[in-house]
Amino acid sequence: MEKGTPVNTPVEPGGKGLSVREVTLSYGGAPIVREVSLDIPHGAFTMIIGPNGCGKSTLIKALARGLKPAGGRVLLHGKDLWTYRGKEAARHMALLPQTPVAPDGITVRDLVRRGRFPHHTLLRQWSPDDDMAIGFALDRTGLADLAEARVSELSGGQRQRAWIAMVLAQQTDLLLLDEPTTFLDIAHQYELLELCRELHDEGKTIVAVLHDLNQAARFASHLVVMHRGQVVAEGPPAEVLTSGLVADVFGLACDIVPDPRTFTPMVVPHARFPASSSPGAA
CATH number for the domain that contains residue 256:
3.40.50.300
CB 262: neighbour CB atoms within 10 A? 12
Count of domains forming the chain: 2
The percentage of the chain sitting over the pLDDT mark of 90, rounded to a whole number, equals: 83
Are 78 and 108 found together in one domain?
no
Give the Cα-Cα-Cα angle 23, 17, 89 (nearest 5 degrees). Answer: 80
Are 125 and 264 found together in one domain?
no
Question: How far, in Å, CA of 196 to CA of 8, rounded?
Answer: 17
Q: Which of 120, 149, 171 is the last residue of a domain?
A: 171
The percentage of the chain sitting over the pLDDT mark of 70, rounded to a whole number, equals: 90
DSSP 186: H
pLDDT digits (tens, 9 = 90+) for 136-165: 999 999 999 999 999 999 999 999 999 999
pLDDT band at 263 (very low <50, low <70, confident <90, very high): very high
Question: How far, in Å, CA of 133 to CA of 139, rounded?
Answer: 10
Q: Which of 116, 148, 171 is the last residue of a domain?
A: 171
Radius of gyration of the chain (CA): 20
Q: Say yes or no to pLDDT of 42 above 50.
A: yes
pLDDT band at 9 (very low <50, low <70, confident <90, very high): very low
Q: Is residue 160 part of a domain?
A: yes
CA 164 to each of CA 118, 141, 172: distance values in angstroms, whole numbers, following the listed order = 16, 7, 12
Question: How far, in Å, CA of 202 to CA of 186, rounded?
Answer: 25
Are 163 and 236 found together in one domain?
no
Q: Say yes or no to pLDDT of 107 above 90.
A: yes
**Whole-number pLDDT of residue 22:** 97
Asked whether the beta carbons of 9 and 41 are under 8 A apart, the reply is: yes
Q: Domain limits at 179?
A: 2-92+173-277
Q: What is the mean pLDDT of residues 117-122?
A: 82
**Whole-number pLDDT of residue 122:** 66
Are 202 and 244 found together in one domain?
yes
HSE-up of residue 166 (Cα within 13 Å, Cβ side)? 28
The verdict on pTM exceeding 0.75 is yes
Secondary structure of residue 6 in the 3-state scheme: coil
Q: Which of 152, 171, 190 is the last residue of a domain?
A: 171
**Whole-number pLDDT of residue 273:** 63
Q: Is residue 282 part of a domain?
A: no
Are 84 and 180 found together in one domain?
yes
Give the N- to C-terminal CA distance of the chain in Å, as an integer: 47
Give the Cα-Cα-Cα angle 136, 141, 143 (nearest 5 degrees). Answer: 90
Are 220 and 234 found together in one domain?
yes
Q: What is the mean pLDDT of residues 68-73?
A: 96
Q: Is residue 247 part of a domain?
A: yes
Q: What is the mean pLDDT of residues 74-79?
A: 94
Give the range among 138-142, 160-164, 197-201, 277-281 with minimum mean pLDDT.
277-281
Are 58 and 154 found together in one domain?
no
Selection from 230, 225, 219, 235 nearest residue 181 by Cα: 219
Q: In degrees rounded to 5, what are phi and psi of residue 171?
A: 55, 55
